[in-house]
């Protein structure tokens, strides 16, 4: 069945970097925009980044703009989140999430991964 599986989380010091991956299966990946959403007790659910189905458009939350980069490899059915200059407040569970409607650019998220934990700590 269709699923998203994240990986790449871990513990990193402030100022460090991590790269998250989200492997998709069971649906036509290159027809759907993808997102990263994070959740922490302090800030709740927070949308982080969006990438269009063809990779042609990227959008970011102000809190991560200039530090995080979303990308996708449609040949590998995978979306990535490169996180640089990590801060204590980036500590959260990171989910990848799929748009509901194919070939669209602002949508609800009908499929989520299980989440990967990122801890920024000295």
Partner 1 sequence: DIQMTQSPSTLSASVGDTVTITCRTSQNIISWLAWYQQKPGKAPKLLIYKASTLQSGVPSRFSGSGSGTEFTLTISSLQPDDFATYYCQQYNSNYPWTFGQGTKVEIK
> In the block, which residue shows the tokens 């949308």?
47
Q: Based on CB atoms, which residue is closest to partner 1, 46 or 71?
A: 46
Q: Based on CB atoms, which residue is closest to partner 1, 75 or 108?
A: 108
Contacts for 63 with CB less than 8 Å, ≥ 6 apart: 46, 89
Q: Which chain residues interact with partner 1 by CB under 8 A?
A: 44-47, 50, 59, 61-62, 95, 100, 105-110, 112-115
Q: Based on CB atoms, which residue is closest to partner 1, 32 or 50?
A: 50
Q: How far is the CB of 64 from partner 1 (least distance, A)?
A: 10
Q: Based on CB atoms, which residue is closest to partner 1, 45 or 103?
A: 45
Strands 116-120 and 10-12: parallel
Helices (H), 4-119: none
Of 44, 42, 122, the residue nearest 89 (C-alpha): 42
Q: How far is the CB of 34 from partner 1 (least distance, A)?
A: 13
Contacts for 75 with CB less than 8 Å, ≥ 6 apart: none
Q: How far is the CB of 7 from partner 1 (least distance, A)?
A: 15
Q: How far is the CB of 122 from partner 1 (least distance, A)?
A: 27
């Amino acid at each position: 069945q269709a699923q998203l599986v994240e990986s790449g989380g871990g513990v990193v010091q402030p100022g460090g970097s991590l790269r998250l991956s989200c492997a998709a299966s069971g649906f036509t990946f290159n027809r759907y925009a993808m997102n990263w959403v994070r959740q922490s007790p302090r800030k709740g659910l927070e949308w982080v980044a969006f990438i269009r189905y063809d990779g042609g458009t990227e959008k970011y939350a102000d809190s991560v703009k200039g530090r995080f980069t979303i990308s996708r490899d449609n040949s590998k059915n995978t979306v990535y989140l490169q996180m640089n200059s990590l801060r204590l407040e980036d500590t959260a569970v990171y989910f990848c999430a799929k748009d509901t409607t194919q070939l669209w650019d602002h949508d609800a998220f009908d499929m989520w991964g299980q989440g990967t934990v990122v801890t920024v700590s000295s």
